[in-house]
Amino acid sequence: MKQRAGDAGANAREAILAAARKAAQAHGYGGLNIRALADGVGIKGASIYYHFPSKADLGAAVARRYWEDSAADLDALWGETSDPLRCLHDYPDVFRKSLESENRLCLCSFMAAEYDDLPDVVKREVQAFADVHVAWLSKMLFASSVVSAGESGQRARSIYAAVAGAQLMARSRSDIALYDALIDGYRAAGLLPTLQRTLPEPGVDH
């Protein structure tokens, strides 16, 4: 019964991580309030420091868990269908879900804005998130041959930045329909591929 990891004692840590993630997606790293966070978990502010030595370490742990979960989600999407065009089509849904969850932003987009004020340990995790997404997009672009091999990296970065920008703009109007319209605009302009191979006339239902 001694020295067991992941037991009852770890629940508080996990609860803090989950609550901190939701708070940071709404208010950012700077807006993350330790006392309010502790309140939501049912402990006192000072107790947070038993689980995390500093706000910087908490922020880094939240951001790391965030990109780890995101990487797992993307891999699951790819594992389900093995259809890279389908994956590229569904990719914007990942960012849509944050908006659906009380108009929240991607944690790492918020932290990208706050970059100057971020502790170094947090900065590293924010960049890892973008790296994971760009690598996955690049793989999908290559597998679906929508761009030539040498261009998949550049296109992947452009798609990532554009989708993050769409989420940011939609948040500032609390308007998910705007997000959908922006993504459609990317498809119409050719930044994002379409599922069917670019038929000039869409058919009946339009």
Partner DNA sequence: ACCTGAACACCGTTCAAGT
x/- track of binding to DNA for residues 36-55 (CB under 7 A): x-x----xxxxxxxxx-xxx
Q: Quote the least distance from Cβ 31 to its own copies, whole Å.
A: 5
Q: Are 83 and 91 in contact (CB under 8 A)?
A: no
Please report whether residue 189 would count as binding DNA according to CB under 7 A: no
Q: How far apart are CA 197 and CA 194, in angstroms?
A: 7
- Closest CB to DNA among 43 and 168? 43
Query: Could you tell which of DNA, its own copies, none binds residue 35, using a CB distance below 5 to 8 A set by kind?
Result: DNA
Please report whether residue 181 would count as binding DNA according to CB under 7 A: no
Q: What is the DSSP letter of 162?
A: H
Half-sphere exposure of 83 (CA within 13 A, CB side): 9
Backbone phi, psi, residue 97, to 5°: -60, -35
Distances (CA, A) of 10 to 5, 19, 101, 139: 7, 14, 26, 36
Please report whether residue 184 would count as binding its own copies according to CB under 8 A: yes
Binding residues for its own copies, per CB under 8 A?
Answer: 26-28, 30-31, 103, 105, 108-117, 123, 126-127, 130, 151, 154-155, 157-158, 160-166, 168-169, 171-174, 178, 181-182, 184-186, 188-191
